[in-house]
Structure 1
Amino acid sequence: MTSQLYLVRHGQTALNAEGRLRGLADPPLDEIGQRQAAAVAIALSGTGANRVLSSPLRRAVRTAQIIADALGIEQRADTRFNDRDYGFWTGHRKSEVVAEWGTVDAAPGVETSETVLARVLPALDEFAAPGTHSTPIIVVTHDAVIRSVMLHIDPAAPTITVPTGSYQALTYREGRWRIDLTDQQPL
């Protein structure tokens, strides 16, 4: 059996526009983010998806609601798709953290990619279990989650930027997830 999954990054927020780390902060979508979510809904309207899951953070929930309403499908939040916790660095400009520590990963108190994967991969495995999902699923989450998943699937994958309002397409076949599309930006 083949399972299909669309990983959607939520629409833009004011913190995104300012280049700040959001993590567990809970800003709403801005006007651009609302339009991005509507554009993703149109782009995914022909997929046959029957539900949308999202991180419980407001920016992801609202993006998922816009998609679910447009497609007439179920939407619910799942904490496993929550954003990476940046701890003290939440709200700081990413460029400043990188300038000080070399990478966001090196900054003290930042949730590791391994910890993110430890909560996300079991959810993906559930989607791939035989007989559980015969129709595609849409998951609205965050760039740190998507990037971690994509690099786990294919460490040699070309640079994935995961802009706001973009989606990635995955297929589970022959016992593993495969990347079909990356960084699709309908708006």
Structure 2
Amino acid sequence: MNQLIFARHGESHANLLQVFANREPSHPLTDRGHEQAVALAQRLGGRATVGRICTSPLLRAVQTAHVLGDELGAPVAVSDALREFDVGSYEGGGDPAHWREYDEVLEAWLVRDEGTRRVGGGENLHEIRARFRSLVDEVAGQAGTTVLVGHGGLYRCALPAVLANVTPRWALTHPLATTETVTARLYRGRLVAVGWGDLDVHPDGMLDAPTQVADGS
């Protein structure tokens, strides 16, 4: 069975500092983040035999992926397609006004389909989705289970573009916590979510939500 598991990285120092850290050099995992990665490996090991792991090049994701690889005996490859989306001139900072703009642009992207807008002059929605989709198309046809280690912002923006039963509104209002996962499988010729966090999803079901912005990034 072909199966993709999209996992958010463990807690990093950037999460605690509330700064944009979407380029290298970046912030490492905290001790808690490392423990979360070990716990994720244990959960995944009880569900499936993982054949391969792909990770964002950002340090917090690479560290999470290598914990998974060591625990599960799976090779780890780095893919730029999984990096967090670029926020231009806001990189490295944590100005509350910039975070407000971030939230406003996410809502514009995922509620009003204003995909050309940018946070701090960084990537727009179309650019984010194009690189992400290219990797998903590549690995979706590979046999067995592939784990992809990425980021909360990336997944909120890009998963609705590759999962046929996930709406942008759902992704916006249900951000993934650190080391939470989305499980996807091919079903009737489409890639669909069968699990989002702790929620099991029927492949014929549709994940949708009212238009509102949830906290988290």
- What letter is aligned with 1:176? R
Instruction: Specify which structure has the bigger relative contact order, considering alpha-carbon pairs within 8 angstroms and separated by 6 or more residues.
Output: 1
Contiguous gaps of at least 5 residues in structure 1: none
Quote the residue 1:15 is aligned against. Answer: 14
Aligned length: 181
SS of residue paired to 1:44:
helix
In 1, the alpha carbon distance for the partners of 2:74 and 2:148 equals 13
Stretches of structure 2 that go unaligned for 5 or more consecutive residues are 107-117, 200-217
Matched residue, 2:120:
108
The answer to whether the 8 Å contact 1:54/1:78 transfers is: yes
Question: Aligned Cα RMSD in Å?
Answer: 2.1
Matched, 1:6 2:15: no
How many Å separate the matches in 2 of 1:101 and 1:122?
25
Shift of 1:184: 4.4
Q: Which residue in 1 is equivalent to 2:158? A: 149
1:112-131 map, 5 Å: 112-129=124-141
Go from structure 1 to structure 2 and tell me whether the alpha carbon gap of 1:125 and 1:98 turns closer, same or farther (over 3 Å shift).
Answer: same
Task: Give the distance between the partners of 2:94 and 2:185, measured in 1 at CA.
Answer: 34
Counterpart mapping for 1:12-161 below 5 A: 12-25=11-24, 26-46=26-46, 47-93=48-94, 95-99=96-100, 103-105=104-106, 106-129=118-141, 133-152=142-161, 153=163, 154-155=166-167, 158=170, 159-161=173-175
State the alpha-carbon separation in 2 of the partners of residues 128 and 100 from structure 1: 34
User: Identical aligned pairs, as a percentage?
Assistant: 25
TM-score (normalised: structure 2): 0.75
Q: In structure 1, how many angstroms separate the alpha carbons of the residues matched to 2:61 and 2:101?
A: 29
The alignment's TM-score, normalised by the length of structure 1, stands at 0.87
**2-structure distance, mates of 1:49, 1:157:** 30
Shift of 1:11: 0.8
2 CA distance for matches of 1:151 and 1:94? 28
Higher alpha-carbon deviation: 83-92 or 36-45: 83-92
